[in-house]
């Protein structure tokens, strides 16, 4: 019995080949990106952030200059947020991050959910800037700048020969 090549059998083999090739290509693309190259939602948030200003519908702006306070928030990889005012820890909370779509056709937003607090916040990170917006209906915008970790170097001083 001879195998006949028909148009249908050729198309079936070609379609199967294209499907397998596409599947392998997609798998190669997904596995070629390392975790370092594509940070998770939380990775961009992790770090120490210094408060620059808070504004409410352009009515007023609070800044460290007009409040007299330095405010820092620190998000760590274990899901803890620590809030400092004038270099003193004032509160801490566990947090999780969730993706939130406000509605059909609306952009995807990231939401910080703090355990033990009434208010959650939408956030975005662009470069070294963190933008927080309260999710409780009040239109408060908070802007922070990423703090660079201070590195201290202790140089050994050579002992003098006596």
Q: How high is the mean pLDDT of the chain? A: 78
Residue 156 binned pLDDT confidence (cut-offs 50, 70, 90): low
Q: Would 156 be classed as within a structural domain?
A: no
Q: What is the DSSP string of 79-127?
A: SEEEEEETTEEEEEEEEEEEEEE-STTPPEEEEEEETT-S--EEEEEET
Q: Would 22 be classed as within a structural domain?
A: no
DSSP3 helix / strand / coil % (the chain, rounded to 5): 20, 40, 40
Domain that holds residue 52: 41-146
> What tokens does 64 get?
């460290």
Q: Would 9 be classed as within a structural domain?
A: no
φ, ψ at 20 (rounded to 5°): -65, -45
Q: Would 30 be classed as within a structural domain?
A: no
- 9-23, 39-53, 76-90 — most confident range: 76-90
Domain count, the chain: 1
The whole-number pLDDT of residue 16 equals 59
Q: Would 155 be classed as within a structural domain?
A: no
Residue 92 belongs to a domain with what CATH number?
Answer: 2.40.128.20
φ, ψ at 43 (rounded to 5°): -55, -40
Q: Would 55 be classed as within a structural domain?
A: yes
Q: Would 152 be classed as within a structural domain?
A: no
The whole-number pLDDT of residue 17 equals 56
Q: Would 135 be classed as within a structural domain?
A: yes
pLDDT (average), residues 74-85:
95
Q: Report the run of H or E that residue 55 belongs to, with start and end.
A: strand 47-56
């Amino acid at each position: 019995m001879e195998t006949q090549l028909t148009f249908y059998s050729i198309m079936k083999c070609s379609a199967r080949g294209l499907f397998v090739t596409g599947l392998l290509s997609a798998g190669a693309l997904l596995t070629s990106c390392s975790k370092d190259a594509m940070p998770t939602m939380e990775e961009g948030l992790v770090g120490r952030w210094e408060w620059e200003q808070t504004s409410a519908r352009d009515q007023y702006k609070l800044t460290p200059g007009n409040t007299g306070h330095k405010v820092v928030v620190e998000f760590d990889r274990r899901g803890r947020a620590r809030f400092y005012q004038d270099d003193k820890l004032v509160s801490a909370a566990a947090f999780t991050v969730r993706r939130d779509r406000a509605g059909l056709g609306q952009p995807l937003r990231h939401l910080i959910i703090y355990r033990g607090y009434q208010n959650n916040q939408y956030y975005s990170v662009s470069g070294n800037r963190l933008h927080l917006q309260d999710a409780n209906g009040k239109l408060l915008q908070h802007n922070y700048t990423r703090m660079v970790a201070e590195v201290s170097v202790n140089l050994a001083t050579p002992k003098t020969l006596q």
